[in-house]
Amino acid sequence: MYFSQLIELQGMMERELAALRRALTPPSVPLKCPDDNELASRLSECAVDERLHARCVERIRDLEYALRRIERLDYGLCEACGERIPFPRLLASPAVRLCVDCQQARERESFSPFATGPARRPCAGRFRGGPCGGAAGVGAPGQRVS
């Protein structure tokens, strides 16, 4: 990556970070409402605000981390394989940590029917049976099924 490209990306991240920090306000909880319907509506809006706030905080952390990587001189390298991340990918998402191949591999792993932990499939646990909530009697490879 050229120095001018790095400076461009750093400037983009610093501007976005400043804008996010200005816009970041903690969600407020309604204290008084004229009726239960209004309260329910406001609480629903508050839940959306909380999710947006959490995303904003996460984005700030990602950008701060990317800026620290620039200082450490390892920005633009895939954290999984160490290869260079192409400039167009960094330009599209400056805080990206993985190259396309490693990102795709991680996404395939996270949607594996036998994945466990926080990266499990979204349907996990809905149905009784196997470790990913599959049909009864279907378990992980090598798992004895009774």
Please give the residue that has the higher pLDDT: either 79 or 36: 79
Identify the domain containing residue 60 by its residue range.
3-116
Q: How confident is the model at residue 39 (pLDDT cuts 50, 70, 90)?
A: confident
Our CA angle for 110, 114, 118, nearest 5°, is 45
The answer to whether residue 134 sits within a structural domain is no
| 141 falls within a domain | no
Domain membership of residue 94 (yes or no) is yes
Q: Flag whether 14 is in a domain.
A: yes
Residue 31 lies in a domain: yes
For residues 30 and 13, the model is more confident at 13
In a domain, 137, yes or no: no
Q: Which amino acid makes up residue 104?
A: Q
Residue 122 placed within a domain: no
Query: For the segment 103-145, what is each residue's pLDDT rounded down to a tens digit?
Result: 999 999 988 766 565 544 444 433 333 333 333 333 434 444 4
- Is pTM beyond 0.75? Reply is no
Predicted confidence (pLDDT) at residue 57 exceeds the cutoff of 50: yes
Residue 55 reports pLDDT greater than 90: yes
CATH number at residue 7: 1.20.120.910
In this predicted structure, what is the pLDDT of residue 137?
37
Residue 101 in domain? yes
Q: How many domains does the chain have?
A: 1
Query: What are the tokens at 21?
Result: 């920090």
Better pLDDT: 54 or 43? 54
